[in-house]
Structure 1
Amino acid sequence: MKLKFIALAVCGCWLAFAHPVLAQQTERVPALREKVYGQLARAQEQADNGNLAEGLSILSDVAEKADSMNSYERAMMWNFYGFMHYEQGNTKQAINYFEKVVKESPIPESLQKSTLFSLAQLALSDGQFKRAIAFLGQWESLAEKTELSQAWVLKAQANYQAGDHRAALPLIDKAIAAADARQKTPDENWLILKRALHYELEQPKQVAKVMERLVADYSKPEYWLQLAGVYAQLEQDEKQLAVLEAAHQQSFVKKGSEWRQLAQAYYFNELPYKAAETMQEAIANGKVDASVDNLKFVAQAYTQAKEYEKAIGVYKKASARVEHGKFAAQIAQLYLTLDNNEKAVEYAKQALTKGDLDNEGNLYLAEGMALLNLKRYEQAVESFEQAGGREATQRQAKQWLKYAKSQHKQQQQMAKLQ
């Protein structure tokens, strides 16, 4: 029997069910009489022209004589009913009529086989997962060995959607293994389903392996970036960075979140300068906003890379956009490191004026050290006394205070001698 197939996307796979073009009967199957053939052909013609209601009306006339029809003729009639109800979006009715097809006997094996597979797909799309699996069981008894992967995939999908992830996993594994044995690339959707199952079963190492396969076989930008994310979850920082760099070289890094991920990967792999420069590039290109948080990251990365002047420049931009003095305090510390004591004192005072600091004691210590370097000992004593009043810096401040007082006393004595 000659068939044409109408393919429709259902649950990530393709639904192909028989829409017969009436022709000669199969051996050992009752003949399709000319009168019935003519009526079914008219119904098909109406359906093909978009007149489904008229097609159903013609089939209704045919159905009144169902008792006088043979099994093949009735199967063909039910098949058309099923197809037309599916075209109207009535999946449940379509399933009912396609079931009638396979209950007729004898009918061509090709019709029985294609209808059972369509029933499984329709049941799956309608949320009838157990029925889908049952239809597939019947289909498997007719299928060739090379076709069984289709059933394993659909059964895996049915179990996945039913929430039985452990039952679904070995089925999709069998389908993938069968493709590998034939040296064929497994269908992309099969790998996606396997990835989803490992994710649901909280198996990140297996998720990474599937993502590696997707990258190797299909190399889509999102797969590279998702693989990097899985490596990050597994704390495999070097692998994460290697994948992100490869993705960047292929121009796959486009979104702001992806640029941030790349910059953070550099930072965690102890490449702070590249981290800062990557984020700066992303800001300059408009990929990410010059937000306070992003500026803070850049400044911290430059600081870690000992690029203090660059860090100060970025901290100043961030400080101008906030009311607290935390960034000004960082600037003061960096100026002290650069031995720019005047600026260190200036920004220490600015930070103290703004307030809301994480550790005032440390800032008073930094201010006191800068004042010592400037030989402004009396002011240094005041700063160290302030630091000594904070528990976290009390011990350290005590030592510096003693030194500052001695220097101040010596300074006074020298002034008297002069």
Structure 2
Amino acid sequence: MNTKNLTGKLFLSLLLVSILTVVGPFIASAKAEQKFENVKTRQVPAIRAKVYDQLARAQAFADEGKTVEAIEALDNVQGKLSSMNSYERAMLWNFYAFIYYQQEQYPQAVTHFEKVIAESPIPEPFEMSTLFSLAQLEMMQGHYDQTITYLDRWETLNKNEVPASNYYLKAQAMYQQKSFDKASDYINQAIAVIEKEDKVAEENWYVLQRAAYYELKQPEKVKDVLVKMVKYFNKPEYWTQLSGMYGELGQEKQQLAILESAYQQGYVKSAGDINNLAQLYYYHGAPFKGAELLEKAMDNGVVEKNLRNMKFLAQSWTLAQEQDKAIPVLMAAAEMSDDGELYAQLGQLYLNMEKWSEAIAETEKALEKGGLSNPGTAYLVLGMALYNQEDYVASMHNLGLAEKYDNSKHMAKQWKQYVLAEQTNASRLESVGA
């Protein structure tokens, strides 16, 4: 997971809060005589207006993209460090950190944020926002232990309910450390805080929740999260993932229903997803729909016309009782194959259709190409087709060959008796006629 992208926007917004929102109430007017203000039981020195003006000047440079000038302005303020109070010094380090963050110089930003929280006293809101910024920065740099440390420190200062964002950051850190059980606990708490208010959490939060459940090998919970993701975000990948999870759970009817719904919305586009849907149609008694889907995808160049796909398409058309559509596909697949199995299937198909000559031709191709798992069956098909052409001698010969194989021996013997009887009757009739 890309933690840098996930935390960057939230970090920048909170960083601006620490500079703009927290600072305002503590700027002393030029005529102010008081030195401290009471903030959450802390006595905090006020920021003098002249110091703030110099810091604001640096900020203006930074906003204009004049980084060098901004740093020079801050360096000028730093030259008067000995005359500054703790809050003023903390704000100086905070401005440095902000500028370094803008320049993506994260280690320097961390260093200066650490200087902020090292100053004392400073307002608690300021310290807390800085701690949270540090947690996010450490997260972005892959320092997960430090992330947790800063968040825990933040929570010791917090007087209210822990916000969802804290739980989310902790969940990210734990996930990256492969502490999936803890990651799951924290992300569940984060999402619960949001959903308790009848709101939807950020999409990435559900992504993390799903990932944690997946690593914990809890497919039922993965499925439940994906149900939400489909409802809230309606993305193609969530539909196909949900279908896959139903399949993993053995809930194949739901698997088909979800994937078919995704197809109707135009979400099933990849060769893999199309093949999955076609197979689901096949195994749930709708081979015609699967064959149509697969053939259309092949014609559009989405699904490759390779041997495996062509075999499955032929099987689908055959099961759908669409022999006229199955035959050309099976012929094309047979030519691709290194063995004669598909020619043997064609022979059986033609036999069932009572097309004796075609059955004989395709079965002979099968035997010539070789590599048959059940050659006895091929000889049996030949014997039966030749019998129907009243070529009794050739039929008996092939039935005799079929009799040599265990899987076709019994049927071959029965057919030999039948053919022999028919041959005898034909000879007798011929004799009488003569």
TM-score (norm 1): 0.91
Question: 1-side partners of 2:284 and 2:159: how far apart?
Answer: 52
Runs (4 or more) in structure 1 with deviation over 4 Å come to 21-24, 142-147, 412-417
Question: 1:157 is matched with which residue?
Answer: 172
Aligned with 1:328 (options 340, 343, 351): 343
**Preserved CA contact (<8 Å) 2:163 2:193:** no
- In the TM superposition, what is the alpha-carbon distance from 1:113 to its structure 2 partner? 2.2
Question: 1-side partners of 2:375 and 2:7: how far apart?
Answer: 60
Question: 1:380 is matched with which residue?
Answer: 395
User: Is 1:18 the counterpart of 2:15 in the alignment?
Assistant: yes
Question: 2:288 is matched with which residue?
Answer: 273
The number of residues matched between the two structures is 411
Point out the more displaced range, 395-404 or 124-133: 395-404
Q: 1:25 is aligned with what amino acid?
A: F
Point out the more displaced range, 21-30 or 193-202: 21-30
Offset from partner CA, 1:384-406 (integer Å, 9 cap, x none)? 12212223323332332333334
**Preserved CA contact (<8 Å) 1:72 1:106:** yes
**Preserved CA contact (<8 Å) 1:324 1:356:** yes
Question: 1-side partners of 2:250 and 2:179: how far apart?
Answer: 29
Aligned ranges for residues 383-394 of structure 1 at < 5 Å?
A: 383-394=398-409
Q: 2:220 is aligned with what amino acid?
A: K
Point out the more displaced range, 345-354 or 140-149: 140-149
Aligned ranges for residues 220-231 of structure 1 at < 5 Å?
A: 220-231=235-246
Point out the more displaced range, 24-33 or 336-345: 24-33
Aligned with 1:37 (options 37, 43, 52): 52
Q: Relative to 1, partners in 2 of residues 1:259 and 1:346: Cα closer, same or farther, differing over 3 Å?
A: same
Question: 2:353 is matched with which residue?
Answer: 338
Q: Relative to 1, partners in 2 of residues 1:71 and 1:142: Cα closer, same or farther, differing over 3 Å?
A: same
- In the TM superposition, what is the alpha-carbon distance from 1:208 to its structure 2 partner? 0.8
Aligned ranges for residues 221-300 of structure 1 at < 5 Å?
A: 221-300=236-315
Aligned with 1:201 (options 193, 216, 239): 216
Q: 2:328 is aligned with what amino acid?
A: G
Task: Report SS of the residue matched to 1:18.
Answer: helix
Aligned with 1:167 (options 182, 185, 196): 182
Offset from partner CA, 1:24-75 (integer Å, 9 cap, x none)? 5264332223442343233223322323233223323332332321011101
Point out the more displaced range, 56-65 or 185-194: 56-65
- In the TM superposition, what is the alpha-carbon distance from 1:409 to its structure 2 partner? 4.3
Point out the more displaced range, 310-319 or 206-215: 310-319
Task: Report SS of the residue matched to 1:320.
Answer: helix
Task: Report SS of the residue matched to 1:251.
Answer: coil
Question: 1-side partners of 2:344 and 2:235: how far apart?
Answer: 45
Question: What stretches of structure 1 of length at least 5 have no aligned partner?
Answer: 1-7
Point out the more displaced range, 132-141 or 35-44: 35-44
User: Is 1:99 the counterpart of 2:114 in the alignment?
Assistant: yes
**Preserved CA contact (<8 Å) 1:237 1:268:** no
Q: 2:288 is aligned with what amino acid?
A: Y
Question: 1:119 is matched with which residue?
Answer: 134
Question: What stretches of structure 2 of length at least 5 have no aligned partner?
Answer: 28-36, 39-43
**Preserved CA contact (<8 Å) 2:348 2:359:** yes
Root mean square deviation of aligned Cα: 2.2
- In the TM superposition, what is the alpha-carbon distance from 1:142 to its structure 2 partner? 4.2
**Preserved CA contact (<8 Å) 1:76 1:101:** yes
User: Is 1:217 the counterpart of 2:232 in the alignment?
Assistant: yes
**Preserved CA contact (<8 Å) 2:45 2:85:** yes
Question: 2-side partners of 1:141 and 1:268: how far apart?
Answer: 58
Question: 2-side partners of 1:13 and 1:60: how far apart?
Answer: 28
